[in-house]
Amino acid sequence: MELRTGIRERQLISQRLVVAACGAGVLLLLLIVRLSWLQLVEHERFVTASEANRLQTLPVPPARGQIIDRNGIVLAENTPRLQLSVIPEESDDIEQLVAEIRARIPFSDDEIRTFTSSLKARRRPREPVVILDELTDEEAARLAVDAFLFPELRLQASPRRYYPFGGLTAHSLGYVGRLALEELQDIDERRYAGTQMIGKLGIERAYEEALLGQVGVERVETSARGQIMRTVERKDPVPGDDIPVYLDIGLQAKMYDLLGDRRGAIVAMDPATGGLLAVVSAPSFDANVFTGGISSARYRALQNDRDTPLFNRALRGQYPPGSTIKPMLGLVGLHYGAVTWQTRINDRGFYQLPGIEHRYRDWKRWGHGQVDMDVAVIESCDTYFYEMAVRLGIDDMAAGMAPFGFGRRQGPDVTGTVPGILPSRQWKRDARREPWYLGETVIAGIGQGYWVTTPLQLATATNVMARRGTFIEPHYAVRPDLEQGVPVNLGTPNDWERMIDAMEEVMHGEKGTARASGQNMSYRIAGKTGTAQVIAIAQDAEYDENEIDERLRDHAMFVGFAPAEAPSIVVSLIVENGGSGGSTGGPIARALFDYWLIDRKGGAVPPDMQFVEDVNSRVIARTYADGG
């Protein structure tokens, strides 16, 4: 029985073995059929393919679109450069190769590190990896002598993004940088075949789609060494679109010139369109350091700079708006009936909530006396606005100010903006989980407390004043679709005109806070000064500019537009730790308005390029001063 089972089992296995062997035999036969088809039947075709194999398919990257300012001056262009790269699949020993190159061309450790990390990064098969980003003609010649030793090297001309005024435009144009691994997930990789750069910030990023263009394909015949002999077939790339922007390089330069070594930001806008004429944040940096693959040492130096040149103060700097928003607040107060033009308040130099000891001080220690709305705006009376804020209440204040654009991101093509904070009861409950206190309403009345805004937001809000009551999204590019104003329903046209008259008095009136800057003028400015506190001053202490550490001094602010009756430019500016808005902000604003309206005749006269270049070289000097 046992034995019979054994024999049966053995027969079973043998049967199965025969089945398996037959299966294997059939499959091997099929393989032979397939191979004979490939090698005998289709032989000719593959011979051609193999001959043509030196025919390589290469992506041809499109030329990136240019960014062109309102005068037709190119702000971002492509310049030729010689790039040295290697196809890692063709190299047996890359370290040896690098050593060989190094023996011929100087090559920093930092560049080697950059190369090794890009070598490790994920890439398509046979995609060249850049070794040296920019070779001088002399270096290229030295390498060319021994080129036959290194068939795996590719020396090719590939355009480099260049910003002729890289220091002036870094914070508005942004820059392109090497396509990072994380970014591969968000893009269509095929469109970037052969392209190593992508817009990282600013206009370069916002209009990446349009600037990029369509990749082309080229079939080239290469010799056994991989050198390109001739182009067999070519589908031309479609270059990216040029993006015309409202930016004015002359105005940008003038702003950096006026700011000098100070930290700050200036935004200028065209009231008719909401187009951004200038967006400036100082100190700046040379955007060109990013297009060539920035060295880590230089990047660290920029990052560790105490004055944060990489930080975009114009779009991301959050400052209390201070008194600059008083004209708008005034309109809100009038609209909600908290005050009328006739309301008078007696200012004794401070404001007190009923039954509370605490004194909310006016900037003028002895007070402004009897004050109505006009005077309160012209002289920037704090007490009037404390009183008005309490009458108005924080929620109506927030509701009235929201249409000016506060508390939210703005600018559909402005990247990297922050929303700031427009405080309200609801906001505080959501963000802080705390109830609102009346004292916080008081200081909100002069743009302090939780309230923070960016220079861009202040420019946009001031533009609503300039346009007599319509809001328009700020934007860089010429975009008719964005240039429809949205009405801000506050008060009557008369209220707006009267408030603008008060803003003119700020500049030109006998008691205006910026009257020193408003003398001897052929046109009129409507403006408002502001001084944002950096630290709270103790109840009875005197604020003494000279005694306080420079970094703790107040920020000087100014918003305004000119000519007041038919504005062609809106400006908002902040000078960090600059002191008072009247004494520091006013003169800068006056100089800007003069430059724009008189020197440039509202943009009709092209900018002085020598001046632009001089300022740019001063601005970028800092980038190369140390660490790099």
Partner 1 sequence: MLTAAETGQFESFRPKRFAQRYGLDPFLGFMLLLTSCFGLLVLYSASGQNEYMVIRQAAHVVVGLGLMALVSQVRREVIIQLTPVVFLVAILLLVAVLLFGVGAKGAQRWLDLPGLPRFQPSELMKLALPAMVAWWLTRHPLPPRHSHLLIAAVMLVIPVGLIAKQPDLGTSIIIAGSGFFVIFLAGLSWRILGALFAAGLAALPVLWSVMHEYQRARVLTLFDPQSDPLGAGWNTIQAMTALGSGGLMGKGYAAGTQAQLKFLPESHTDFIVAVIGEELGFLGICLVILMYGLILGRCLLLTSRAETHFGRLFCGSITMTFFVYVFVNLGMVSGVLPVVGVPLPLISYGGTSIVSLLVGFGLMMAMQRTNRVLSGDSS
The phi and psi torsions of 505 (rounded to 5 degrees) equal: -65, -30
**Does position 61 bind partner 1 by CB under 8 A?**
no
Q: Which stretch binds partner 1 (CB under 8 A): 21-29, 251-259, 392-400, 547-555?
A: 21-29
Residues 6+ apart with CB under 8 A from 5: none
Q: Is 311 exposed, middle or buried (0-12, 13-18, 19+ CB in 10 A)?
A: middle
Element at 347 (helix H, strand E): strand 345-347
Copy the structure tokens of residue 289: 């350091």
Q: Kindly tell me which of 56 and 470 has the beta carbon lying closer to partner 1.
A: 56
**Does position 224 bind partner 1 by CB under 8 A?**
yes
Minimum CB–partner distance for residue 158 and partner 1 (Å): 17
Selected from 1, 3, 4, 54, the binder of partner 1 by CB under 8 A is 54
Minimum CB–partner distance for residue 573 and partner 1 (Å): 51
The owner of tokens 């020396």 is 155
**Does position 117 bind partner 1 by CB under 8 A?**
no
Copy the structure tokens of residue 172: 């508005």
Selected from 1, 3, 7, 40, the binder of partner 1 by CB under 8 A is 40
**Does position 49 bind partner 1 by CB under 8 A?**
yes
DSSP code per residue over 501-519: HHHHHHHHSTT-TTGGGSS
What residues does 156 pair with on adjacent strands? 83
**Does position 32 bind partner 1 by CB under 8 A?**
yes
Catalytic residue among 172, 281, 284, 323: 323
**Does position 235 bind partner 1 by CB under 8 A?**
no
Q: Which stretch binds partner 1 (CB under 8 A): 47-55, 311-319, 487-495, 529-537?
A: 47-55
Q: Is 572 a catalytic residue?
A: no
**Does position 355 bind partner 1 by CB under 8 A?**
no
Binding mask 188-217 for partner 1 (x = CB under 8 A): -----x------------------------
**Does position 7 bind partner 1 by CB under 8 A?**
no
Selected from 3, 4, 5, 230, the binder of partner 1 by CB under 8 A is 5
**Positions in 121-150 near partner 1 (CB under 8 A):** 124-127
Please state, in angstroms and rounded to a whole number, the distance separating the CA atoms of residues 146 and 459: 59
**Does position 12 bind partner 1 by CB under 8 A?**
yes
Of 501, 68, 459, which is closest to residue 281 (Cα–Cα)?
A: 459
Q: Which stretch binds partner 1 (CB under 8 A): 86-94, 287-295, 457-465, 591-599?
A: 86-94
Q: Kindly tell me which of 146 and 189 has the beta carbon lying closer to partner 1.
A: 189
**What single DSSP character describes residue 189?**
G
CA torsion sign for 283, 289, 291, 295 is negative
Please state, in angstroms and rounded to a whole number, the distance separating the CA atoms of residues 147 and 117: 25
**Does position 57 bind partner 1 by CB under 8 A?**
yes
**Does position 26 bind partner 1 by CB under 8 A?**
no
**Does position 497 bind partner 1 by CB under 8 A?**
no
End-to-end CA distance of the chain: 91
Buried b (16+ CB within 10 A) or exposed e, 237-260: bebbebbbbbbbbbbbbbbbbbbe
Using alpha carbons only, give the angle 259, 262, 268 rounded to the nearest 5 degrees: 40
Q: Is 427 exposed, middle or buried (0-12, 13-18, 19+ CB in 10 A)?
A: middle
Q: Kindly tell me which of 73 and 179 has the beta carbon lying closer to partner 1.
A: 179
* Residue ranges binding partner 1 (CB under 8 A): 5, 9-10, 12-14, 16-17, 20-21, 24, 27-28, 31-32, 34-36, 38-40, 42-43, 45-47, 49-51, 53-54, 57, 59, 89-90, 92, 124-127, 193, 224, 226
Catalytic residues: 323
